[in-house]
Structure 1
């Protein structure tokens, strides 16, 4: 009875924590649907509008390592509530925006807050759970990420059509205020362990430099600069130097580095890290791509494009609980490998779809893609913690979130680049078909590191 009660308490804590993530996740899905409308409203290009997404991811990625450190030294509840207040401020600024720079500034503030909110949920829950039943818990923690993609695009579409795109940020205000009141009342304190590493400025500077210059290089390439140009190669070189410098620094000062190299001694963590980056490209990149495809190629309104995307969310929702149970019972390897096949089956048809393809085929493909998407995220996130000691959990969260966010930013930039380049050569539909083909390629590559994830015999001995 004690174990059952403990498991029930952990699940309840997970549910309370995910309440705070509703506004950031809803905002992300609604922003993707609004990109085409914002492009027209502010009179900017696809490459310019991608900064609305990229700046958010960039700010989020730089904040993640700070959150990994802060989780060990400050009360988790106060950190979480503080991040929600910052997100509220970012939403207010975004809702007032009348130019692209102001909107990007608001998105940066929102990204800073999300860089604390999302990792804190995982870190606090894994610490409380003690590493048990992580597949099931990741399914609970990720529930908003399932339900909100079902509701977000449609809600965003109606807000944009009935009012204007500013309302996708205004709607966050009552949501965040409600979450703050509920969490102040119901969420217990998460006392700091004071057992982690002290804040290390060189670590943060090197990680921030790596993340920032990698994204700048990608986005400059996506805005038309040639790969061999100094505008692209210079920030890319700085990113590579930052990575090498961090590895040397972490090897020489292991007690200070914010992300320990010990994490990468685990084959399952290494595999999970690579897959999270690749799936970030395939999944997040496609989330940027799909609303634009539905609106620009098929001519759907923002409301209808959001409604059509419900099919993907339904597929994700149906598969989610079973994926969590399967991961806990047989490990992540076979779950992810099957998910790769399903995700390809749901994405490949878009390479051949035209503006005249029946909408029913589009809905079926999105539904199948949703099932595969769940299998590329839940098992991998759970597997990244398998066999890790308690003191490395926060650092594991930092590393996995950074890689996932770099992958997401890369996916957005790469697919935007492909569309922009292909449009100059042929039709708009052909440009999107090529972008979807690249997305299929990224999904296919994830099968290689998936082989190194945990499986049943390993779980039995862990």
Structure 2
């Protein structure tokens, strides 16, 4: 190998046009799929009225999409190795566009749920495939900045989804929540055809791990479903919750044992993901996702139940989170590339913690400016954490492990966000019962008591729950601070081996 080749990683830290085009394609394709995870939430009542369906049935429009999304993620690594990243990106995006069009044309609740599943199957693979392409192209020296790009859709979805959904429901037919995806994603599809290079890294010999798929995909779906039921207020001792969570946990554990035994042929080769860097970074991200999704759930709930805000007004309270994240995201990615991600991520967690502690003091008369200020602080920290932790998780991994790493990281983040939603809902229910003796834990039932102290007592329950969220953030600091120092010679060595 020549000296010029060896020095390439050090000299090529800037984002070249090819990598920039790839990043544009990934963001264009992924942003609508992530937005669709939240955009429909505000329209459930309207959908129920139009179809004459109960809320418990219409809720499957959201649940079906989420479960399909979860089941598709584990197939990403194998499909990229077998068919190539570009091919699978185009197929996944095509599935999402087709599902979106069919959802807009749905004539009944069962048809809408079925088409949402099609949407979810396509959307579930787009984000990890996009990450795989970017990570392969970027190399270790540009990982932080590339992960900043990957984080854009995930950061904007909880903020823009409810707002966009509220605007469409208030002024247009609910069908436009799905039709809006078609032209936007069609542009992304054309950009992918023009900008993505032909697949050169694929193996026709890669065989699908059928047993692994039958374990991990339904196991992950059952786990996410059970946690979502807890998040929607289901009893922790109820048969539906216990059956789903226990069955999901058993299937996932069985998959891990199977994958360790099978090795290279496993759907996700977990043996390649046992590095200290990957374990600590994804463990920290799991805990952080649980905490920050809890914050994102609590703020609009507080606004709607305690303050009496409309869904759209409550959604606006999350807007500063997206703005704060965008402000720090690109800078944090550059800093993570230059100095390593550990202290960037730790500073981000502490910043989110500061914003969360401010939210523990909310009362019925707290002004919107105070809430939005605290949310902005959370956003500043969020923009520092996501790029740094994602970049840290790939440190020291060989190129051939990238598909498995992106799949594994996305699985953990998906479960972490579901776990955080469930934990937040359960803690809030218990806090309500503690503050209002005899209350069922149902927010709207408790608020409907109309006593003079009800708003104050509900605010106290929210404050206690924010304290629990702050505790999870503190725990998330442990794996972040335990992350090993970056070996400055490792990037060049890795590049030489893989390159």
Q: Quickly name the TM-score band, shorter chain normalised.
A: 0.7 to 0.9
Q: CA RMSD in A?
A: 3.1
Aligned partners of 1:54 and 1:409 also within 8 Å: no
> For the residues of structure 2 that align with 1:191 and 1:265, how far apart are their CA atoms?
28
CA–CA distance in 2 between the matches of 1:50 and 1:352?
A: 33
In structure 1, the residue corresponding to 2:40 is in which secondary structure?
helix
Check if 1:297 corresponds to 2:313: no
2:366 matched residue in structure 1: 357
Q: Distance in 1 between matches of 2:63 and 2:422?
A: 8
Separation of aligned partners in 2, 1:137 and 1:412: 28
- Following TM superposition, by how much is the alpha carbon of 1:96 offset from its aligned partner in structure 2, in angstroms? 4.6
Matches within 5 A, 1:257-272: 257-272=266-281
Residues 1:452 and 2:467 aligned together: no
Structure 2 gaps of 5+ residues are 1-7, 433-438, 448-457, 492-499
Q: What residue in structure 2 maps to residue 323 of structure 1?
A: 332
- Cα distance in structure 2, aligned partners of 1:220 and 1:154: 24
Secondary structure, aligned partner of 1:353: coil
- The equivalent residue for 2:452 is none
| Number of positions where the alignment pairs a residue of Structure 1 with one of Structure 2 | 460
CA contact under 8 A between 1:74 and 1:191: conserved in structure 2?
A: no
Shift of the 358–237 alpha-carbon distance from structure 1 to 2, 3 Å rule, reads closer
Contact 1:195–1:391 (Cα < 8 Å) also in 2: no
Once residues 288 and 63 of structure 2 are traced to their aligned partners in structure 1, the CA distance between those partners, rounded to angstroms, is 17
**Distance in structure 1 (CA, Å) of the matches to 2:250 and 2:476:** 26
Change (3 A) 1:273 1:6: closer
- CA distance 1:89–1:285, shift in 2 (3 Å): farther
Deviations 1:47-89 (A, max 9, x none): 8776554443322221112111111121322211221121123
Q: Deviations over 1:112-162 (max 9, x none)?
A: 111111111100111122333100111123334455666544433322221
Distance 1:444 1:270 in 2: 18
Contact residue 35 and residue 292 of structure 1 kept, 8 A: no
Distance 2:198 2:374 in 1: 44
Q: What is the distance in 2 between the residues matched to 1:293 and 1:417?
A: 15
Q: Which residue of 2 aligns with 1:131?
A: 140
**Greater RCO, CA 8 A, separation 6+:** 1
Number of the residue aligned with 1:436: 466
Quote how far apart the aligned CAs of 1:14 are.
1.5
Instruction: Give the TM-score taking structure 1 as reference length.
Output: 0.88
Aligned to 1:282: 291
Gaps of 5+ in 1: none
Separation in structure 1 between the aligned mates of residue 370 and residue 202 of structure 2, nearest angstrom = 52
> Alignment partner of 2:360: what SS?
helix
Change (3 A) 1:244 1:16: closer
CA distance in structure 2 between the partners assigned to 1:176 and 1:7 by the alignment: 24
1:314 partnered with 2:319:
no
The answer on whether the counterparts of 1:76 and 1:191 sit within 8 Å (CA) in structure 2 is no
Residues of 2 paired with 1:165 and 1:213: CA distance? 29
* Contact 1:418–1:435, Cα closer than 8 Å, also in 2: yes
| Equivalent of residue 64 in structure 1, options 65, 73, 76 | 73
Please, what TM-score do these two structures have when normalized by structure 2?
Answer: 0.82
Number of the residue aligned with 1:28: 37
Question: Is residue 409 of structure 1 aligned with residue 439 of structure 2?
Answer: no
Q: Distance in 2 between matches of 1:403 and 1:333?
A: 19
Question: Does 1:424 find its partner at 2:440?
Answer: yes
Cα distance change, pair 302–161 in 1 and its aligned pair in 2 (3 A): farther
Find the residue that maps to 1:355 and give its secondary structure: coil
| Alpha-carbon separation, structure 2, partners of 1:136 and 1:107 | 33
Residue equivalent to 1:399: 408
SS at match of 2:466: helix
Question: Which of the residues 139, 154, 164 maps onto 1:155?
Answer: 164
The answer to whether the 8 Å contact 2:290/2:419 transfers is: yes
Is the CA contact 1:21–1:117 (under 8 Å) kept in the aligned structure 2? yes
- Measure, in 1, the Cα distance between the counterparts of 2:70 and 2:99: 16
Counterpart CA distance in 2 for 1:33 and 1:454 is 43
Q: Deviations over 1:15-50 (max 9, x none)?
A: 2222112321333343355467668877766x8776
Q: How far off its partner does 1:440 sit?
A: 2.5
Contact 1:415 1:435 in 2 (8 A): yes
